[in-house]
A and B are shown apart, each in its own frame.
Chain A
Amino acid sequence: MGKNGYLLLVLHAHLPFVRHPEHEHFLEEDWLYEAITETYLPLIDIFDRLIDEKIDFRMTMSITPPLASMLSDSLLQDRYVRHLERLIELAEKEVDRTRWQPEFNHLAKMYLGNFRKARGIFVDRYQKNILHAFKKFQDAGKLDILTCGATHGFLPLMDATRQSVRAQIKVAADHYRSVFGRPARGIWLPECGYNPGDDEILSQNGIRYFFLDTHGILHGSPRPKYGVFAPVYCRSGVAAFGRDLESSKQVWSAKEGYPGDFFYREFYRDIGFDLEFDYIKPYIHPDGIRINTGIKYYRITGPSDHKEPYQPQVAREKAAYHAGNFMFNRERQAEYLHGRLGRKPVIVAPYDAELFGHWWYEGPQWLDFLIRKISCDSKILKLTTAHDYLKENKRNQVITPSFSSWGWKGYSEYWLNGSNDWVYRHFHEASQRMGELATKFKNANGLLERALKQAARELLLAESSDWAFIMKTGTVVEYAQRRVKDHILRFTRLYDDIMNGTIDEGWLADIESKDNIFPDIDYRVYAS
């Protein structure tokens, strides 16, 4: 292996648990459907083809427990198929509508082809459960699947209630084993939020490595000899990998990043907003709320409102060029660092998975080109996973990393500010009460056990960092607030009912059917 360094690509796939059987159509469920069509299925298609063509690659992906739960939920699977059928119908109409507009007609046909292919992969190849696909890639040794906090709870703000941190990790690890048939080796900490000592809990759950933002490593103590270009061991023996900012910036940054290229597809010009109301009405929300359909005909073109039609071939060439550029930059970086450090650097490049395909339409193509180029051409870089790297490089420095996150400003502020700070008093109180319940009723069974499990589910669902995140972004604030309140109210009623010995089975069954995440949850994790 004469190579100079490693590239560790990580995609963080996550969506909050949104499932509303009580509504026939629920806008926020579309987040999942869009991500399946635009991100997860294209990635699966790429990995399947790489394996078919016997290209040896290494990728890392976190699939969070809420996302995995939704992907394996039959109600949501069926609703996704319904959603996809309607998209196919719309695309068919579009092919017809645009038949005298050659600049759009080929795009309508492209979307129609994509949606039909999506149906083929989702329904025919994987029988509506695409977790089987990811599991297959992992079992083939190509993909390293990370777990995450059970509901993507931001751990540093749970520091006052350690039983909640414990539960976020243990419930996730248990769930991972049941879904992927093996113990979780690595974790993507929600929002990379880390507080010194959290690694002890990872260690107790058999987790061997996690990822941090750059300053989490750089500001660790003692100073990390190799910066972020080698993992460090915490005193618990769990390894931490730090994010490389340079490779992040090339993909993330609006100004310098690839996704802003004028030939790439424009996200904001969707026919759900562009077309006449009566025509598009059957494909938007039944209440007449316009939504993104995923069919978009324009390219970014430039900073003004003027937009030119999208040209997929040109965009594809751009994606290939950008993949080459990314590889070139990483190679120079690896060569330089190798000489400077005297050790092969590992360059950790993590991204939100939903950036690829959903936001950056050409992202999956870019990734495909990049993987192929590195696997087949690069004499300098080797794709790796944290697991493989640690197997080859056992000796690493021991430091205590610093409290950090990959959020805005690098710490907790995005999840702790005037828009969302009110949630924590309720989370902490519920967490303490859950600890009290679990300690008091260690050997529950029957109805009591069901109520205790449901209480743990409600607490976990409330703790999802997405709600605080949405309150801060200001997008669907009411929904996020409602979710926090509903889960805490359900929890509180369960707590009171359990304490008073007055569990209402009918009501319990109702919320069990709605908030049905983690069927086998071990509520005893909260016991002290």
Chain B
Amino acid sequence: MKDLNSLSRKELLDRAKQLKIRMPYLYRKNELIKMIQKKEISQPVVVAKPQKAEEDTTRLRGKKLVEKISARREGSGDSKPYYEPTYHAEAAKDESPSRLAVIAARRVSPSAPKGELPLSYEQTKIVLMVRDPYWAFVYWDISTSTIQKVTGLMREHFGKMRPILRVYDVTDVDFNGKNAHWNFDMDVILDAKNWYIHVGIPNRSYLVDLGLLDAQNNFYLVARSNVAKTPRDVPSDVVDEEWMAVDFEEIYALSGGFGVGLSSAEFKERKKQLLEQMLSSPGMQGAVTSPGVTSPGVWQKGKRKGFFFEVWTELLVYGRTMPDAKVTVSGEKIQLRPDGTFSLRYFLPDGDKNLPIQAVSRDEDDTRKAEIRVKKDTIWG
């Protein structure tokens, strides 16, 4: 509670408004502090770190937690973006082999599961990260007190108020809430706590608001993100006059800019496409495919995301003969136990495995043979 005293009157008023203290400007500073303290103590706090929630609020100073701003949905109707939920799965196709090989075909050392990480840090914020020229990612955290307000609002306007992400293009703009080039909305599930956003246009700066939208298009801001910029997916339009003498398209091609693993015919076709694209509007889909590399496919078979499942098989071969006989497996002599029994264990991969076994009596008069043939398949479902 100590830092309430260090807040300015205006900040205290903001805090009081958030806590729904009526007409706070009627009170003196020390009275306000008392009222705020009382209110905050009465708020149920799930995570045992009440002082954190308070500090986080001060960190967000100047930004109102739930702020009603007038909603203008410019262009949002026809630019409805698709979304990519977090569980969206995509198999890795190309990756560098060596690091993988170092860790291929391994199992985890046994270690008892210990603590888990907190589900929330009791603060209200949203962070924007760029994944590639077309996709961004946001995660958010909402403090217990804010989530109560949010759910309260949603209950109050049942069925008419929904959580959204409002994505603004703020390229070269000092964003004040109203001066974005354009914006679009996407529905989200608050509990998902993160979302992939198809922003779609490379080389632009974006900012994302998390908030609620009511039936009258009023937007209630919960948290505002940082600004992040998508990278270019084609060569820059900025060409210094002095450099124009060089055939950049050819240098681009020689540098491998047309993609990996193309035959020369594909290469020419690709080059043509690129030139056409470079002549048309900027921001078209780029010609550079992923510069990843191809790897041998063997270890990819058992690959799964996140969730972990491995099945291994071993082949156990055992038998018995005269204790003084000579037994070979695949031509190699094996050691018999004193009673003439033996037991062998082999790793059993998918495919065919043949084990010729032979026993020869001590006087070498008698020979018996057995060939174990095993065909093993694993059907992954």
Contact = CB atoms under 8 A, between A and B. Distances in A.
Interface in A284-341: 287, 289-292, 305, 336-337, 340-341
A514 interface: no
A428 B109 CA distance: 28
B87 A418 contact: yes
Interface string B173-201: 00000000000000000000110000000
Interface string A229-250: 1000000000000111110110
A183 interface: no
Nearest to A412: B131
B141 interface: yes
Contact of B345 (A31, A278, A422, A482): A278
Interface string B256-289: 1100110000000000000000000000000010
A253 B129 contact: no
A180 interface: no
Given A278-B344, A479-B109, A220 B98 contact: no
B235 A218 contact: yes
Contact of B108 (A27, A223, A248): A27
A248 B305 CA distance: 28
B110 A260 contact: no
Contacts of A35: 102
A223 B129 contact: no
B75 interface: no
Contacts of B22: none
Contacts of B352: 305
B103 interface: yes
A214 B130 CA distance: 19
Interface in A208-234: 213-215, 217-223, 225-229
A354 B306 contact: no
Interface stretch (A75-83, A108-116, A375-383, A467-475): A467-475
B92 interface: yes
Nearest to B292: A408
B127 A268 contact: no
B305 A354 contact: no
A23 interface: yes
B288 A410 contact: yes
B127 A255 contact: no
Contacts of B347: 273-274, 277, 290
B96 A252 contact: yes
Contact of B130 (A217, A244, A337, A403): A403
Interface in A363-411: 397, 402-404, 406-411
B23 interface: no
Contacts of A287: 110
Given A355-B98, A477-B308, A482-B111, A409 B292 contact: yes
Interface residues of B, number: 103
Contact of B255 (A23, A218, A273): A218
B115 A485 contact: yes
A336 B250 CA distance: 12
A358 interface: yes
Name the interface size band of chain A.
Answer: 35 or more
A249 to B, nearest CB: 6
A409 B290 contact: yes
Interface stretch (B146-154, B236-244, B356-364): B236-244
A273 B287 CA distance: 44
B58 to A, nearest CB: 12
B263 to A, nearest CB: 11
B252 A218 contact: yes
Given A252-B293, A413-B132, A223 B236 contact: yes
B370 interface: no
Contacts of B226: 160
Given A23-B109, A352-B96, A477-B306, A277 B346 contact: yes
A50 interface: no
A267 B109 contact: no
A354 B98 contact: yes
B41 interface: no
A413 B239 contact: no
16 contacts: A31-B103, A159-B130, A159-B228, A223-B240, A225-B246, A226-B246, A228-B256, A244-B255, A276-B334, A277-B314, A277-B345, A305-B351, A421-B86, A473-B100, A473-B303, A477-B306
Interface of B: 86-90, 92-111, 113-118, 121, 127-133, 135, 137, 139, 141, 193-194, 226, 228-240, 243, 246, 248, 250-252, 254-257, 260-261, 288, 290-299, 302-308, 312, 314, 329, 331-332, 334, 343-347, 349, 351-352
Given A159-B228, A215-B288, 6 more contacts: A20-B109, A27-B109, A260-B296, A273-B349, A408-B95, A409-B292
